[in-house]
Amino acid sequence: QVQLIESGGGLVQPGGSLRLSCADSGRTLNTYRVAWFRQAPGQEREFVGAVSRGDDTYVIDSVTGRFTISRDRADNTVHLRMDNLEPGDTAIYFCAAGNSLGAITREDLYEFWGQGTQVTVSS
């Protein structure tokens, strides 16, 4: 089993920034498409963005211009930089990895998931 670990969450004021990281203890993350999802209390998990195996990146419209996904191949990690955070961004953020073909927004295309890291945006 591939074990993914997210880090970098925390409490931040509106307008602040955080950088989340996703790492695989087996150091194989470079071989996967990696996505970020988030889940607010009482809501379904929501796709946020992804980086392909060829390092193309995509984020949903609501975070375009604020969130950036990047891959650090030297370290086998993927990062989600979040700027200008809003209270609506409050959620548990998960990274997920997989190589199945299909719409990148589908949860079932990702075989491996981390435990999640809490992001809270509040004054």
Looking at residue 84, its pLDDT comes to 98
Mean pLDDT of 45-66: 97
Residue 119 pLDDT exceeds 90: yes
Closest by Cα among 34, 67, 92 to 59: 67
Mean pLDDT value across the chain: 96
- Asked if pLDDT for residue 40 goes beyond 80, the answer is yes
pLDDT for the residue 2: 84
Phi then psi for residue 8, to 5 deg, are: 105, -5
Question: What percent of the chain lies above the pLDDT cut of 90?
Answer: 94
Q: Cβ distance 26 to 2 under 8 Å?
A: yes
For residue 27, what pLDDT is reported? 93
DSSP for residue 25: T
Nearest to 119 by CA among 8, 4, 15: 8
Confidence bin at 58 (pLDDT 50/70/90): very high
